[in-house]
Chains A and B, each alone.
Chain A
Amino acid sequence: MSEQAVKPITIAISAMGGQGGGVLSNWIRDLAESNGYVAQSTSVPGVAQRTGATIYYLELFSQAAMAQSDQEPVLAMTPVPGDVDVLIAAELVEAGRALQRGFVSADRTTLIATTHRSYTVSERQQKGNGLVDSDKIVAIAEQQAKRLIAFDMNQVAIENHSVISSALFGALAASEALPFSKAQFESAIEAGGVAVASSLAAFNAAYEKGQAEKPEAVSEPDDGSVFSELPEQARTDSARRLLQRVRDEIPEGSQTLVFEAVKQLVDYQDPEYAHQYLDRLNRVVKQDSEAQSFALGHELAKQLALWMAFQDTIRVAEQKIRADRFEKIRREVKASDEQMVYPVEFLHPRVEEICDSMPKSLGEWALNNRFARGCISALFSHGRKLQSAKLSGFLQLYMLASMKSGRRKTLRYFHENNHIEAWLGRIEKAVTRDYDSALEIAKCQNLIKGYSDTHARGYENFNAIMAEVDAWLVSSENSCAARIAKLHKAALTGEDRSAFEAELALAS
């Protein structure tokens, strides 16, 4: 027998601690040992397994080959780049990590990768969108592996009430990278004796999916927002008028977006508010440039709508009491028909939010009057747990939501409205000088988000950038786009304002 032929089959599992890589290892080992192979598996135990990236490694060796030479094979403890037959990744970035370490080679490695993501802390903790590009990892995997099987194996597991190891095992069977039949794989699960039925269900579902030719596209959070088409006709008069305005006044490429915005603002307040939105938008759209494919108008349409639908206490209360929300919670916690679900809302409005919800003059007085402020503080010094599906909790929220008709008189509305107008004014001025600068100013709206302190800090950053804009508007500089973009990015970086302040200090 030639040296090439007498080699172990090498299998690496790239996973996160606690994901069940051990179960998968055991199945593969049992599968091999019951079907004419000796198997060795290793793992790294202990603290390394607490949710961190880890590698399980297996080698299988044919007993026939052993008998022929009458010798024991020497099996290795860790994978060697270029020497891995099968790489199983239990999470997509872990597939990327294995690729990075060279464990996937084009002449040899079958890569079985789930496309689901378990986001790392570094991605999740960003103030904006810090997620890595999953499609690109899949593309690199496709280019590097001899064969790639990729789909959302976690989803397959969930659909079959199982865990990812069963789905990975199914995809492994489908790959036919190991010299074992599907029935032999199934016997290994049966021999394991734990949750056999659900494991087999997930195994079979993954087996079928795994036989597809192309890796499945990744679905994940991204910016490629899809809006629904404009309807032929609206059902009510007020809606018809708005729909007509969108058709008449908005460039075609932005109509679906603006229509979505209009729908949201009607839901947020009333048709009149949506008209106000279109009026504001038009001030800029009129000056927008077809040569730039109306990029500014498009961006502004999005940002303005989001700002106008600011999250005040009235809006939050309204969101909490809607029927479809209660249904959503039931679905999400996987409640059966016989189970009851009671949400407990964690609310902690501060004095500022309470006063913000009052009519402007009353709110201002309460904020500035020590006694009134003290009373409100005392009432709301602790967080509240409100049972929104029980009567007293629901009614409180219902009352608050009913204040919607008076929203235009609230202190919060007054503030937001002033800021929106000032911002729009800057954009109108900027677009006459530099299109890109106007676009960057429009984008800055997304700095204002969150609630309480987070919201206040966002405003602080926003205002600091606007001060820069104002300085630019009276200067002779051609553009401030690059500067604003940098500041914008810095404001979304890190937890405190240090990155932003450093960036701010650079120019001054």
Chain B
Amino acid sequence: MAERSFKKEVQILRKGAGEELHVEGILGVTKALLQSGVAYVGGYQGSPISHLMDVLNDSQEILKELGVHFESNASEATAAAMLAASVNYPLRGAVAWKSTVGTNVASDALANLASGGVKGGALVIVGEDYGEGSSIMQERSHAFAMKSQMWLLDPRPNLTSITESVEWGFQLSEASNTPVMLELRIRACHVHGRFTAKDNVPPPLTVKEAMENPERDTSRIVLPPSVFLHEKEKIEDRLPAAIDFIKANKLNEFFEPRSGGNEKLGIILQGGLYNTLIRALNILGLADAFGNSDIPLYCMNVTYPYVDEEIIEFCRGKDAVLVVEEGQPDYIEQAINKMLRNADVPTRLHGKGMLPVYGEYQGQPLKEGVEAFIQTEAPEMLGKAETLAANDNVSSADNVVQSFDPKLAAQNVIANATAQPNTQADNLIPLQDLDELVPPRPAGFCVGCPERPIFSAIKQLQFEKGEFHVSADIGCHLFSILPPFNLGNTTMGYGLGGAAGSAFNVDGVRRTINVMGDGGFWHNGLTSSIGSAVFNENDNVFLIVDNNYSAATGGQDILSSKFYVDHRSTQNPIKKAVQGVGAKWVRVVDTYDVETVKATFKEAMETPIKGPKIIIAQNECMLNKQRRVKPQTRAAIKEGKRVVRERFFVDDETCTGDHACIRLSGCPSLTVKENPNPLKSDPVAYVDNDCLGCGLCGANAHSAVLCPSFVRAEVISNPSKMDSFLHGIRQKVIGFLQNRLQAKLDKHAF
């Protein structure tokens, strides 16, 4: 059960030609796939592309009606390999994943696919997880396109451009027998805008029909001697075909300057940066809100291959051109430099010298980069609009790169803004003070997360045994690296937690802990981490966090999900899988039972038994559980059934404000509030109303021998007759004794 349901939204996929759709980018892409006569789709979840998989999953009925096959692939490699269906048959296929991590995983299959080439259109939709909000290492998918000779689309980030690029992506793929990648930046995946729909097109050939009429073309199989011919074909046939198609269909766009503009300058940009660039020009007074600019633009909606002719043509006769290319290395700028050199065009080329070498190109760095470009090449064009940045700030490239730091950039802006004459200037609080007032707020475990108790237990065990080397993995459990747990040394890739710890397979004072989630486990961890550890007789401890879903990517179902899922085989226990590859020491524990988790880790650390010690820590993602259970509980209460709700509470008089509990939990609902005792100044621990009653607070209070302040309140709705009877007796006795106590105190009352 995914975190977000698109069951309602997907009905929009049935809309026909001419209707204006107001949707999220991801949904637009799905609609575009159906409009393109796609025969099969698949992929692997991961931000920012997860919702595309959720949308496809929720639209299976519609896909079926059209004869489109959908596969929820086990990994990006699986998804890429599935595109093999387009090698021999004129089937259009599309897969999606998060890049560059997913592209890394898929690269074996992708390289093979790109080598042999395709007959049907093959489209890979990559969610480029780069810049703000990204959770992965910062790399570009561009390199993959270049090294495997695949084509890379980077359309302007409006829904019309994005949806159209899906359609011509397939055409380009077929015209050049080459798989095509469609790159969508994070915010483009989730941009909510509008576009005009077309009718859905059932695939001209379905996978069923292809399967029933097998065909094969050995020249497309990656096997000598064909492989040597593939190399030749890539350069001599497929590349020219692609370039011809791009030119003929005007996939890249030339924007002429508006009247009064400057023909002598130009900007070459990646399509995905178009909107941000226009805003930067707009703020500088060099473009209007509709994109009519004073400077000619060459917008690369296809960022690979380059159409040399178009670029040379654009640059010829201009004094200077700025290349706006996000990320590093500056592949495009290097290529353009070579083109101009070879063509003997003397236009000056600027790029990374004026724009940040690395990092996301948001509005501020782009504005400063363009301003530096104009300042250098045509300073008379500036001053049309009031610009906040002081001109002397942008004269050297150094300054520009430095001010790419959003904080610094902001301070520049504010410094200049507050430099205005102000009668109260003396009373102003310096903005630098914000540095102390604004603590970082990284992402972390949610309220009631079942993974938190595991790390509480490990942290407590560390107090006893000393620090462990912890090989972490991709997934929510990675948040263990942050305070308050501070556990985890490396993260090497999805499902590779165990593999990343494999060098430490030697005798030591303390065994290492190798973490993996159930998502990573089924992605590849079973073989690369566990299988390998069994085979090499790795003596360390392996933790598999089993929370029923691929939780970090949005709660998608996996092989070991506990519930019955339509169209899928679930309920295949991880325990059986690891035993199947030969693991001997396997324990399954409930994550919330901190005492047992701690004892199990201790046993795993100390047991003389050889081979990997595998601990499967199970409990459900609480937010997913809430989504499932809350409506049921509400209904039960309404029906008059006896329901017990639990939540935690801290006695504010008993709490001494030491916050040891918080250092073992970090749960957002375990927070602090004012000390009710006016003599005390330290805030006391406080459980707010978001508490889900997961039980960790109590378990920690016990296992770490914390303090007597923790209370679990059991709230009984619709109490039974027995409840009421006992309650009456209790109230009487307790009330009597409480009155006696009060009477004693009253003797000295003030």
Contacts and interface: CB of A to CB of B under 8 A. Distances in A.
B571 to A, nearest CB: 27
A79 B366 CA distance: 12
Nearest to B442: A52
Interface in A358-393: 382-383, 385, 389-391
B672 A119 contact: yes
B671 A82 contact: no
A23 interface: no
Nearest to A382: B702
Interface string B293-334: 000000000000000000000000000000000000000000
Interface in B691-724: 697-698, 701-703, 705-708, 710-719, 723
Contacts of A318: 741
Interface stretch (B57-65, B426-434, B516-524): B426-434
B608 interface: no
A165 interface: no
Contacts of B689: 158, 334
B135 A46 contact: yes
Interface residues of A, number: 150
Given A122-B439, A382-B702, A102 B428 contact: no
Contact of B682 (A47, A51, A118, A129): A129
Given A316-B654, A335-B715, A446-B682, A131 B672 contact: yes
A446 to B, nearest CB: 7
A96 interface: yes
Interface stretch (A180-188, A202-210, A234-242, A279-287): A234-242
A238 to B, nearest CB: 5
A292 to B, nearest CB: 20
Contacts of A123: 439, 672
B404 interface: no
Contacts of A133: 437
Contacts of A74: 158, 274-275, 278-279, 289-291
Given A124-B672, A260-B679, A348 B701 contact: yes
Nearest to A237: B748
Contacts of B703: 383
A121 B738 CA distance: 39
A236 B748 contact: yes
A3 B283 CA distance: 10
Contacts of B288: 3, 6
A277 interface: no
B711 A47 contact: no
B191 A40 contact: yes
Given A93-B438, A221-B672, A454-B706, A48 B133 contact: yes
B651 interface: yes
A125 B47 contact: no
A264 B187 contact: no
A318 to B, nearest CB: 8
B511 interface: no
A52 B649 contact: no
A225 B406 CA distance: 39
A82 B413 contact: yes
A476 to B, nearest CB: 34
B681 A106 contact: no
A335 B645 CA distance: 10
Contact of A221 (B188, B291, B411, B674): B674
Contact of B409 (A47, A81, A383): A81
A236 B441 contact: no
Contact of B431 (A76, A140, A260, A333): A140
Contact of A339 (B187, B289, B410, B716): B716
A257 B702 contact: no
Contacts of A350: 705
A132 to B, nearest CB: 5
Contacts of B283: 80, 82-83
Contact of A100 (B407, B554, B745, B750): B407
B413 A99 contact: no
A42 B413 contact: no
A226 interface: yes
A162 to B, nearest CB: 13
B715 A341 contact: yes
Interface string B167-192: 00000000000000000011111111
A50 interface: yes
A109 to B, nearest CB: 10
Contacts of B666: 121, 124-125
B190 A47 contact: no
A323 B706 contact: no
A495 B460 CA distance: 12
A504 interface: no
A41 B194 CA distance: 11
Interface stretch (A65-73, A418-426, A430-438, A460-468): A65-73
Nearest to B651: A319
Contacts of B747: 236, 238
A302 interface: yes
A270 interface: yes
Residue picked from B48, B484, B734, most chain A C-beta under 10 Å: B734
Nearest to B435: A100
B31 interface: no
A61 B193 CA distance: 12
Interface in B420-468: 420, 428-429, 431, 433-446
Interface string B128-145: 000011110000000000
Contacts of B697: 346
A69 B291 CA distance: 12
Contact of A266 (B194, B438, B748): B748
Contacts of A389: 730, 734
A390 B730 contact: yes
A320 B652 CA distance: 11
Nearest to A340: B716
B660 interface: yes
B374 interface: no
Interface in A215-253: 220-223, 225-227, 231, 234-236, 238-239, 243
A34 to B, nearest CB: 11
A143 B429 contact: yes
A305 interface: yes
A166 to B, nearest CB: 16
B73 to A, nearest CB: 19
Nearest to A95: B438
Interface string A267-311: 100110000000000000000000000000000001001100001
Interface stretch (B75-83, B231-239, B339-347, B475-483): B475-483
Contact of B714 (A65, A131, A341): A341
Given A74-B274, A82-B417, A144-B414, A8 B47 contact: no
Given A51-B443, A125-B663, A453-B705, A341 B713 contact: yes
Given A73-B289, A125-B663, A223-B681, A321 B738 contact: yes
A127 B367 contact: no
B474 to A, nearest CB: 9
A343 interface: yes
Given A45-B51, A340-B723, A81 B279 contact: no
Interface of B: 22, 46-48, 50-51, 132-135, 157-158, 185-194, 274-276, 278-280, 282-283, 285, 288-292, 362-364, 367, 385, 388, 406-407, 409-414, 417-418, 420, 428-429, 431, 433-446, 476, 479, 482-484, 552-554, 647, 649, 651, 653-654, 656-660, 662-663, 666, 668, 670-675, 677-683, 689, 697-698, 701-703, 705-708, 710-719, 723, 727, 729-730, 733-735, 737-738, 741-742, 745-750
Please give me the 8 A-B residue pairs with the lowest Cβ-Cβ distance, nearest first.
A46-B47, A102-B410, A383-B702, A80-B363, A44-B133, A52-B443, A450-B658, A221-B674
26 contacts: A18-B446, A38-B194, A48-B47, A49-B443, A51-B443, A74-B279, A74-B289, A75-B158, A76-B279, A102-B406, A102-B414, A128-B657, A140-B437, A143-B429, A144-B418, A239-B750, A261-B679, A322-B738, A339-B717, A344-B711, A346-B701, A346-B711, A347-B708, A394-B734, A394-B737, A454-B706
